[in-house]
A and B are shown apart, each in its own frame.
Chain A
């Protein structure tokens, strides 16, 4: 029983972290039909940038205490906003409406951003330690709940709640939801969809970069392969959850996180295969994903 509780807890943490990556991907796809292959590389860039600032400031001034973790997170979010704007403005915007060229151009961005990471920070693995106030664990019965995982779950849940609230209540959120349903109609109603696209792209990239930064201390390292590895998982999550559905990707992310945790315990090499099988099963039964709009 303890074993299963631990695995469920771990899976929940992994899933919620994956959700940060998948949410942006899902919204970008739902709204603009862009399958963003650069998402993983942007996620990785955010991870490196945040980690770099986190380690640098931690080395400079130990009086700051745990503030360096949050400064690192802010740096990741900042670079996410900058990169999101640049990528959207100079590449994705140029090829709206052409799926093939969108995929191709985001692949090009993936190559460039992925290599930039290696140019700036080298091709080697960088070790990352968890911030002091999040190291350690507390025990509930025999289940050890590490603080960092608890932090991830709470943080991501807050983001999820905020995201859902904004989509439900704010004017921008309503436009985004309507855009997922039918973006031409929105345009016909006189709303500047391009602006909304840009905002969503920036926001999605920022979320991915924050997720990337939090992934470092979680795994204990950042490395140049993480972008592609996690992007694949994020794609699977988005496909299962339904393109354009935030709640769907949250549920799918937890599902994938749980299967990752269980497979990591029982048969690590099979984890991707199991996720693939889940995806294949969902797509065969419901091609639009669990919560996707039926178009």
Chain B
């Protein structure tokens, strides 16, 4: 595995060399001789540069764009991207499929919403909402995982669906607490000067919260996936029997993945509640949300880091515009049908999704060039 990693690293460096100005360095690099780099810009591969540039652009967006609706949409894309990343940890990196992932998202959102409504505003309530979400999601994912992961793989899908439905029913029935099906709005209760400098009613501030949240979660997840535990999870995904016969406690690894995905989805729910300032069973808890996040993950690319982010963008933007077309023809109100068809086609013909397919193409080209 180490060798593979080194290989891919040297390949990336070589790619950077050819695309840059230097014409002599690439061959030396490909051979593996590590010359000390004199020019700091030479060591920066085009991938890294692309990362930094796109990050800079994203951070500059609120300065360039003043339209609140655009900011709102981007904010939601970031949050859904984190949600989809957490789902991808299960589906793409562990190989288990959950139909109840929205329960964590919804629990996070409801935690924050209820806190905003019942505890007079302030930093303490804010932090408490985060803490409570982490604790609940941790315990819930542990219990659900223990109950379902030791059974046949398909039972996990079934049990998560059932448990999530119970949470929807609780949110619908416990009217004194959750206002039932109507949900509730808590715009008025949001703090205008959290920790002295965050204004939760300012779209720009919320945008930055979501962006920083996305970047930090991305880094955390990337590190986790590249860690020994993450590698083991991928091995379990590829061949569970083999890993198990090598002496790994497969159940424990799956539990870890389940817990991290659950807590991450819960945190995404908290940030989502901050952004939309409204919670209802349909908008955060329902099975439709799990289906949405499943669509994003699969369309973007299962088992890739960027896939869920691209998927969240594609699904959010296109559903927004398709819904806007509904005055032309009512069929556009049923935009889910289009996603369903695209989803089926992707599973049949491009199981790696958008990002995965592009990656394969790029890798194929590189190999052709090398040989």
Binding site for B on A (CB under 8 A): 29, 33, 35, 37, 91, 94-95, 99-101, 103-105, 107-112, 114-116, 118-119, 228, 232, 235-236, 239, 269, 272-273, 276, 279-280, 283-284, 287
B:139-191 near A, CB below 8 Å: 147, 150-155, 157-159, 161-163, 165-166, 169, 172-173
Q: Provide the residues of chain A in CB contact with B1, threshold 8 Å.
A: none
Interfacial chain B residues near A232, Cβ < 8 Å: 161-162, 165
Asked whether A111 and B151 contact (CB < 8 A) given A100-B97, A269-B173, the answer is no
B162 touches A236 (CB 8 A): yes
Shortest Cβ distance from residue A40 to the other chain B in the assembled complex, whole angstroms = 11
In whole angstroms, how far apart are the Cα atoms of A55 and B163 in the complex?
37
B120 interface residue (CB < 8 Å to A): no
Closest chain B CB from A176 CB (angstroms): 20
Set of chain A residues within 8 Å of B159, measured between Cβ atoms: 279-280
Q: How many residues of B contact A (CB 8 A)?
A: 38
Whether A91 lies near B348 (C-beta < 8 A) is: yes
Asked if residues A283 and B151 are in contact (CB atoms below 8 Å), the reply is yes
A156 to chain B, nearest CB (A): 23
Within the assembled complex, what's the spacing in Å between the Cα atoms of A38 and B85? 25
* Chain A positions within 8 Å of B337 at CB level: 111-112, 115-116, 119
Q: Does B218 contact A (CB under 8 A)?
A: no
Q: Given contacts A111-B339, A276-B162, A279-B162, are A269 and B154 in contact (CB under 8 A)? A: no
Q: B294: CB under 8 A from chain A?
A: yes
Smallest CB separation, A290 vs chain B (Å): 15
Name the contact of A107 in the complex, choosing from B291, B331, B351 (C-beta under 8 A): B291
B154 with A35: CB separation less than 8 A:
yes
Nearest to B161 among chain A residues (CB) is: A232
Q: Per-position contact with A for B184-222: 1 when CB-CB < 8 Å, else 0?
A: 000000000000000000000000000000000000000
Please list the 8 inter-chain residue pairs (A to B) with the smallest Cβ-Cβ separation, ordered nearest first: A111-B340, A112-B340, A115-B337, A108-B344, A108-B343, A35-B154, A269-B173, A115-B334
The B interface, classified by DSSP as helix, strand, loop or mixed, is: helix
CB<8 Å pairs between A and B, sample of 16: A95-B348, A99-B153, A101-B351, A103-B154, A104-B97, A104-B347, A107-B294, A107-B343, A110-B340, A115-B336, A119-B334, A232-B165, A235-B158, A236-B158, A279-B162, A284-B147
Within 8 Å CB of A101, what residues of B? 347, 351
- The answer to whether residues A273 and B161 also contact, given A108-B340, A239-B155 and a CB cut-off of 8 A, is no
Collect the chain A residues with CB atoms within 8 Å of residue B259's CB. Answer: none
Q: Provided the pairs A107-B291, A107-B294 are in contact, do residues A99 and B154 lie with their beta carbons within 8 angstroms? A: yes
The residues of B that contact A104 with a CB separation of less than 8 Å are: 97, 294, 298, 343, 347
CB neighbors of A among B273-308 (8 A): 287, 291, 294, 298
A115 to B336, CA, bound (A): 7
CA distance A235 to B154 in the complex (A): 11
A111:B97 contact, CB within 8 angstroms:
no
- Further contacts, 8 of them, CB under 8 A, given A108-B343, A283-B147: A35-B154, A94-B348, A107-B294, A111-B291, A236-B158, A239-B155, A272-B166, A287-B152
Residues of B within 8 A of A107 (CB): 291, 294, 343
Report the Cα distance A273→B165, complex, angstroms: 9
Complex interface: chain A residues within 8 A of B31 (CB): none
Taking a contact as CB atoms closer than 8 A, the residue among B151, B157, B165, B341 that contacts A35 in the complex is: B157
Partner among A29, A272, A280 whose Cβ is within 8 Å of the Cβ of B165: A272
Whether A105 contacts B347 in the complex (CB less than 8 A), given A111-B336, A119-B337, A228-B287, comes out as yes
Instruction: Say yes or no for B356: interface residue by CB 8 A criterion.
Output: no
In the complex the two chains form, is A235's CB within 8 Å of B151's CB? Answer: no
Residue B106 interfacial (CB < 8 Å): no
Chain B nearest CB from A143 CB (Å) reads 30
Partner of B347, one of A108, A118, A269, A279: A108
* Assembly CA distance A186 to B155 (angstroms): 26
B95 interfacial by beta-carbon distance below 8 Å: yes
Q: How far is the CA of A114 from the CA of B291 in the complex (A)?
A: 13
In the complex, the answer to whether A109 meets B154 with C-beta atoms within 8 Å is: no
Contacts of A37 in B (CB 8 A): 99, 157
Q: List the B side residues contacting A283 at CB < 8 Å.
A: 147, 151, 155
Using CB atoms, name the residue of chain A closest to B344: A108
CA distance A20 to B4 in the complex (A): 53
Q: 8 Å CB contacts to A: which residues of B91-126? A: 91, 95, 97, 99
- Distance in angstroms from A213 CB to nearest chain B CB is 23
Which residue of A has the minimal Cβ distance to B168?
A272
The listed residue (B157, B173, B291) touching A103 by CB distance below 8 A is B157
A229 CA to B327 CA, complexed, in Å: 31
Residue from the set A33, A104, A105 with the largest chain B CB neighbour count within 10 Å: A104
- A111 in contact with B343 (CB, 8 Å): yes
Chain A residues with Cβ below 8 Å from B331 are 119
Taking a contact as CB atoms under 8 Å apart, the answer to whether A273 and B336 are in contact is no
Interface residues of B in 54-86 (CB under 8 A from A): none
Residue from B162, B172, B173, B339 within 8 A of A235 (CB atoms): B162
Residues in A whose Cβ lies below 8 Å from that of B161: 232, 235
A100: chain B residues at CB < 8 Å are: 91, 95, 97
B158–A239 CB distance below 8 A: yes
Interface centre among B97, B150, B166, B294 (most CB of A within 10 A): B97
Whole-angstrom distance between the Cβ of A275 and the nearest chain B Cβ: 8
CB distance from A223 to the nearest CB of B (A): 15
A231 to chain B, nearest CB (A): 9
Cβ–Cβ < 8 Å partners of A112 in chain B: 337, 340-341, 344
Known: A104-B97, A115-B336, A119-B337. A276 touches B152 (CB 8 A): no
* Interface hits, B231-274 → A, CB 8 Å: none
**B348 contact set on A, CB distance < 8 A:** 91, 94-95, 105
Complex Cα–Cα for A110 and B155 (A): 18
Cβ of A235: which chain B residues have Cβ within 8 Å of it?
158, 161-162
Query: A139: shortest Cβ distance to chain B, in Å?
Result: 35
